[in-house]
Each structure stands twice: as C-alpha cells, then as structure tokens.
C-alpha cells in the first residue's frame, strides 16, 4: 500500500501497488542539496530502481514535479528539462527552465562531457536491482534559484514518474536524514545539507494496460500442447487470413510500430513456453522458450520470473543467467532468468518467416519425496515477463498423464544394470 497526495490536503492509500513476489520493490527518488547559492541551491537528484525484476526500458524515465514557490532551474547537468517555458522576465541570464511543473529526461550515453555529471546519461534506462545493481540508478544535478535572499526552501510537490510509460504513483517528497557520501577514496565523509525523498511504486491496474504475455505448456508424456488462453492480450480480427494485427488497448492516434504483432488467438506480444522434456532418476529437465510476436520491437535486457516448487532444489540453466529470489513466505520458490550479454540478452522481433525467440534447457534436481508428474506439479505456478504477469492457462487444460498414470517413474539404475548383466551373461553362454 502506498500513500499518495490526494490534492485536498489529505493522504489517500492505494492497495494496488503491492507485488507479492517483490513486496519491497520501488523506485526511490532522492534530492540531496549539496550547496547553497545566493538565490537558491545546487541539488543532486538520484533515481534508484529497487525492483528485483522490473527494469525501465526504452524510451526511458521522465521525472516531473511542481515547484512549491517561484523556483526556476538556472542550469542542469546529466539530464534536461523537456520544456524551457516562459523566461522573458530574465533579461541578463537565461534559465534552463522556467516551468512551474518541469519534466526532466535523461541524457544519452554519448552526451558531451560538459553536459555530464557522475552516474548520469543512461538514456533513461534503469536495470533491475537483481540483475545489475550498478546500472539500476541514474543521477543529475540542477542549480535552482529565483528564491531571493535567505530563501525558505521547500521540497517539490506532486512528483510524477513515467518509466517506459504510466503506472507509477509517487508518494510525498519528504525531509529525511541527510545523505552521507564518501570522498578521497572513502577516507572522508561528506553530508548533504538537506535530503528529500519520495518512493514510487508500479501498478498494472493504474497503468491500465492490456496484458503483455501469456504461457503455453507441453510435456514429453502427453502429445497435447496447451496453448495460451484465447484473447489473453486481446482478440484477433474475424479475418483469420490477416497476418499482422494491431493490439487492443492502443487507440489509433497513439499507435506506433511497436504495437503491431503477429495475428494469433492470444494476441500477446510475448509468449513463454514451458516444456517438460525428460524425467531421470535424480533429475528432470525442462526447456524454456520465450518468443516475440512483435514485428517491430526488440526486448533488450529481458527477464523472466518463474514460481515453481521444484526450484527448492538445485537448478542449472544452460543458456540463460539465473538466480533465486527470496520466496517471502510462499511455499513455492521463485527463480529469475535473463539473457547472457552479447549472446541472447536481446529478444529480437518477429518477421514474416519466423518469430524472434530465445531458449534454454534447465536441469533440476529432484526431491524424491515431493516430485511427481501428476496433477500438473511439474508445470509453473506463475510467470512474469519484464515484471508483467503472464496469462496462465486454466488448470483443467494442462497436459495430463496418460490413463491417469500417477508418476511415469523412470527405471531404477540398479534394475537397468541387472538387466544388462543378465543379457550379457546369456550372450556369453550362447557363444
């Protein structure tokens, strides 16, 4: 639950921003006043992504607020205000922005040295905390002024965050303990004069987006493939011969090429397929495939989060990176998978001949007391792609064991060895 300024002096609470698999995830915005000036201050703003598996993708973040008084931005480094506004009253020095409610965007990595500051210029991209903490934050600096001598400095209000789109709600910008940073190789500590902080949380309910992905299932013991549920991310046109479709939920004036996908019954840009491949005596194997049905969009630095009880044992992913995340009270464990840099960390778009896809085989150790192929145990409980929940098939559509066979257990290796030795002895006797 997150507190939100309601605009009438009261605080509203939204229960929709809670992710049970990442309850502490958020994006924190910190304002550190580093220096006082004759009419204001110099402030360093840091945007830190604490989401375990939700990253900020292109076109990147945009941060906005409303000034409490008559503030203007004299200059900026590491980012820029998207609109300068009306600065006609300033005759001798032109401010960077005179907007009452400025919107700030990140500079690209190729920004000129004179426009940069430390830890800036990532093009608005923020990695998730679990994947790469070193790229999960970005900073910029501003010289804020027009407050007169001995100003009454107040934090900005109505903070807004667009991080690859809507869905984020930010709490009040409040005073907190001043940030302490290190200098001279950690030998000296420097404290900010004042620090303000706000926490922003994401909700797909607030974003009001159509789903982004769906899940299909298959197994070695049943020829049936359970497809993604029909209309998982929208319903296709009645004309089944149409190859490319425009997804529902994107009004025509807002369309761009990113929303054109291959026409399917599920109409999702991304499908995650889980195939149970093999059942060994002490291990079992799964193939995980992520397919891109979007004709124009690549997914860079993608990740897939899977909840499954089998992850309580050792797992080995052969072609993806992987790590375990805290289960936080769930009986089923949670594993995060993502691509290997320069190999398959980009999920390419589809073309007329084939889908863009990445895949890996996953070898899982068995807990012989709990493992079973019955009742869909070997199938995932929940899957997320890039932080968005994927639409799962209904349990009654799962591939079942043939003739209600409870286990399809593999033969014990000692039994197989006995058969082999008996056969070899028989052959030698015949010879």
Q: Which of 268, 427, 285, 421 is nearest to 359 (CA)?
A: 285
Task: Report the largest interatomic distance among the alpha carbons of the chain, rounded to a whole angstrom.
Answer: 109
Confidence of residue 166 (pLDDT cuts 50, 70, 90): confident
Segment 301-332, tens digit of pLDDT: 999 999 999 999 999 999 999 999 987 767 78
Tokens representing 220 are 């070695």
229, two tokens: 């549920």
Per-residue pLDDT band for 245 (boundaries 50, 70, 90) equals: confident
Q: 123-133: per-residue pLDDT in tens? A: 999 999 999 99
Q: Give residue-wise pLDDT tens across range 2-17.
A: 333 333 343 334 444 5
Percentage of the chain surpassing pLDDT 90? 67
How would you write the chain as a 3-class SS string?
A: CEEEECCCCCEEEEHHHCCCCCCCCCEEEEEEEEEEECCEEEEEEEEEECCCCCCECCCCEEEEEECCCCCEEEEEECEEECCCCCCCCCCCCCCCECCCCCEEEECCCCCCHHHCCCCCCCCCCECCCCCCHHHCEEEEEEEEECCCCCCCCCCCEEEEEEECCCCEEECCCEEECCCEEEECCCCEEEECCEEEEEEEEECHHHHCCCCCEEEEEEECCEEEEECCCCCCCCCCCCCCCCCEEECCCCCHHHCCHHHEEECCCCCCCEEEEEEEEEECCCEEEEEEEEEECECCCCEECCEEEEEEHHHHCCEEECCCEEEEECCCCCCCEEEEEECCCCCCCEECCCCCCCCEEEEEEEEEECCCCCCCCHHHCCCCCEEEECCEECECCCHHHCCCCHHHCCCCCCCCHHHHHHHHHHHHHHHHHHC
What number is the average pLDDT over the span 357-362?
97
Asked which of 193-202, 349-358, 364-373, 384-393 is least confident by mean pLDDT, the reply is: 349-358
**Do the Cβ atoms of 392 and 383 come closer than 8 Å?**
yes
Are 74 and 38 within 8 A, CB to CB?
no
pTM of the model: 0.82
Q: Which residues contact residue 82 at a Cβ distance below 8 angstroms, ignoring those fewer than 6 apart?
A: 62, 102, 103, 104, 105
More confident residue, 313 or 414: 313
Residue 112's CB is within 10 A of a number of other CB atoms, namely 8
Q: What is the pLDDT of residue 56?
A: 94
Give the tens place of pLDDT for each residue, 174-232.
Answer: 999 999 988 888 889 999 999 999 999 998 777 767 889 999 999 999 999 999 999 99
């Amino acid at each position: 639950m997150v507190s939100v300024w309601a605009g009438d002096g009261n605080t509203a609470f939204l229960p929709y921003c809670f992710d049970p698999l990442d309850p502490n995830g958020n994006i924190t915005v910190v304002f550190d006043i580093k220096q006082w000036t004759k009419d204001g201050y110099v402030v360093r703003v840091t945007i830190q992504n604490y989401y375990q598996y939700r990253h900020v993708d292109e076109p990147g973040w945009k941060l906005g607020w409303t000034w409490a008084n008559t503030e203007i931005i004299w200059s900026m480094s590491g980012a820029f205000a998207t609109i300068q506004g009306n600065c006609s009253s300033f005759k001798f020095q032109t401010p960077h922005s005179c907007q009452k409610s400025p919107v700030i965007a990140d500079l690209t990595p190729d920004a000129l040295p004179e426009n940069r500051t430390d830890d800036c210029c990532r093009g608005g991209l923020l990695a998730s905390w679990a994947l790469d903490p070193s790229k999960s934050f970005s900073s910029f600096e501003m010289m804020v002024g027009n407050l007169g001598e001995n100003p009454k400095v107040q934090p900005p209000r109505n903070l807004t965050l667009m991080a690859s789109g809507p869905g984020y709600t930010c709490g009040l910008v409040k005073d907190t303990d001043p940030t302490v940073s290190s200098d001279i190789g950690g030998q000296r500590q420097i404290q900010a004069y004042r620090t303000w902080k706000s926490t922003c949380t994401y909700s797909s309910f607030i974003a009001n987006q159509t789903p982004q992905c769906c899940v299909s299932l298959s197994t070695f013991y049943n020829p049936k493939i359970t497809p993604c549920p029909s209309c998982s991310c929208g319903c296709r046109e009645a004309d089944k011969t149409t190859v490319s479709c425009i997804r529902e939920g994107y009004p025509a004036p807002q369309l761009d090429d990113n929303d054109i996908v291959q026409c399917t019954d599920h109409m999702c840009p991304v499908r995650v397929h889980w195939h149970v491949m093999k059942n060994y005596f002490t291990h079992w194997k799964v193939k995980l495939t992520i397919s891109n049905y979007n004709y124009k969009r690549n997914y860079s630095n993608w990740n897939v989060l899977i909840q499954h009880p089998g992850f309580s044992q050792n797992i080995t992913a052969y072609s993806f990176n992987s790590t375990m995340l805290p289960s936080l009270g769930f009986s089923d464990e949670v594993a995060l998978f993502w691509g290997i840099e320069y190999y398959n960390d980009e999920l390419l778009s589809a073309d007329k001949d084939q889908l863009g896809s990445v895949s890996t085989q996953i070898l899982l150790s068995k807990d012989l007391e709990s493992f079973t192929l019955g009742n869909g145990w070997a199938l995932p409980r929940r899957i997320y792609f890039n932080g968005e929940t994927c639409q799962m098939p209904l349990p009654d559509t799962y591939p079942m064991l043939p003739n209600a066979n409870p286990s399809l257990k593999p033969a014990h290796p000692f039994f197989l060895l006995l058969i082999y030795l008996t056969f070899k002895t028989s052959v030698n006797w015949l010879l």
